[in-house]
Amino acid sequence: MLATMLYGAGYEPGFMIGGIVQAFGRNFRVGDGPFFVVEGDEYDTAFFDKGPKFLHYRPHIAIITSIEFDHADIYADLEAVKNSFRKLIAIMPADGCLVAHLDDPVVKELVAAAPCQVVGYGQIPEYDWCLSDVSCARGGSSFVAMHRGKAFGSFTTVMPGRHNCLNSLAVIAVLERLGLAPDVIARELQLFTGVRRRQEVRGVVGGVTVIDDFAHHPTAVRETLAALRTAYDGQRLLAVFEPRTNSSRRRVFQQDYLSVFDAADVVVVKEPDVLTSVPEDQRFSAKELVAGLQVRGVDGHYFPNTDRILDYLSAIMRPYDVVAILSNGGFDNIHEHLLHKLDQLFPSKK
């Protein structure tokens, strides 16, 4: 988002991020302008460098959206993750800036030690930047950005959900610091077409909408489904989840996943590939998750493979359903297979 908006404003930025930017059809670009945008996280740099990759970037301005436990193959616990972020914060230059999501208590705790300016954003009026008048629907979201108690401007984004409004607010804070006018920021945010695998509509057949999303961490699953529930209000929402990451295939999130699917009407979980490097009693169980979901009153279903999932979906889908496929991998190309089955179920009239 930040890179495309800078580009639209005429700054010719370079960028390297984790997703394919729709506007460019790629995830990197060498720009001629004064800015380079990098998406970095605390995951290790390479097999020969187990330190977090974001320490190599040495940013002048950094956005910290959240700090949670993840990457169980790299970190022992949340405290280990926090130590990586402490190192990032410590290397910020004195004339730099941290744009920090202060609604997150861990972020708020760690940025208190920042050697540079901290610009806070979130949903509390006392922050430097605050959301107001948020409205989320199928076509996206709109909100007013409050800057130090005053309305900075009204904004719209194609991305539905309050969490996407917060992400947009962080970008607005950076662009304001770089000197962009509110009307320019509003124009470029409205033109932003998104990133692949972030609530990406892969197709609509027979009124059934098939959505692809990268969500896999419990928080990301919850926020994504909540956003889709708002965007497709009144339609049945089916969540199809593939636990694929090293963390999601361990028991570390077994209980956390129980409460993140509440926005969905139907939940389908695929049994993940066995993580052989981890003892059996430390592995995630899709069967156990689905049993727990059913106890909570969620219509949950477990299947051992993708073919069985496709057969089940074919049997229950009806017009105007929304199918959200959540995985950080290819999921056996389930999206295209599902769209093909929908073509057979709901043949178009010629």
Q: pLDDT per position in the chain (350 positions), as tens?
A: 888 888 888 898 888 887 777 778 888 888 888 999 998 888 788 888 878 888 888 999 999 999 988 887 788 889 999 999 999 999 999 999 999 999 999 999 999 999 999 999 999 999 999 999 998 877 789 999 999 999 999 999 988 888 889 999 999 999 999 999 999 999 999 988 777 777 788 989 989 999 998 888 888 899 899 989 988 988 999 999 998 877 887 888 888 899 999 999 999 999 888 878 888 888 888 899 999 999 999 999 999 999 999 999 999 999 999 999 999 888 888 999 999 999 988 887 54
Are 184 and 247 part of one and the same domain? no
d(CA 52, CA 82): 11
Report if residue 350 sits inside a domain: no
CATH number, residue 129: 3.40.1190.10
Domain of 118?
A: 2-191
Same domain, 96 and 236: no
Of 258, 228, 257, the C-alpha closest to 321 is 228
Last residue of a domain, one of 191, 224, 249: 191
Q: How many CB atoms lie within 10 A of CB 231?
A: 22
Q: Give the DSSP letter of residue 104.
A: S
Helices (H), 120-217: 162-177, 182-191
Tell me which of 191, 211, 237 is where a domain ends.
191
Same-domain pairing of 146 and 235 = no
Strand order across the beta sheet in which 26-29 lies: 26-29, 14-21, 36-38
In a domain, 294, yes or no: yes
Please tell me the total count of domains within the chain: 2
> pTM of the entire structure?
0.87
φ and ψ at residue 323, rounded to 5 degrees: -110, 115
Encoded tokens for 4: 């495309």
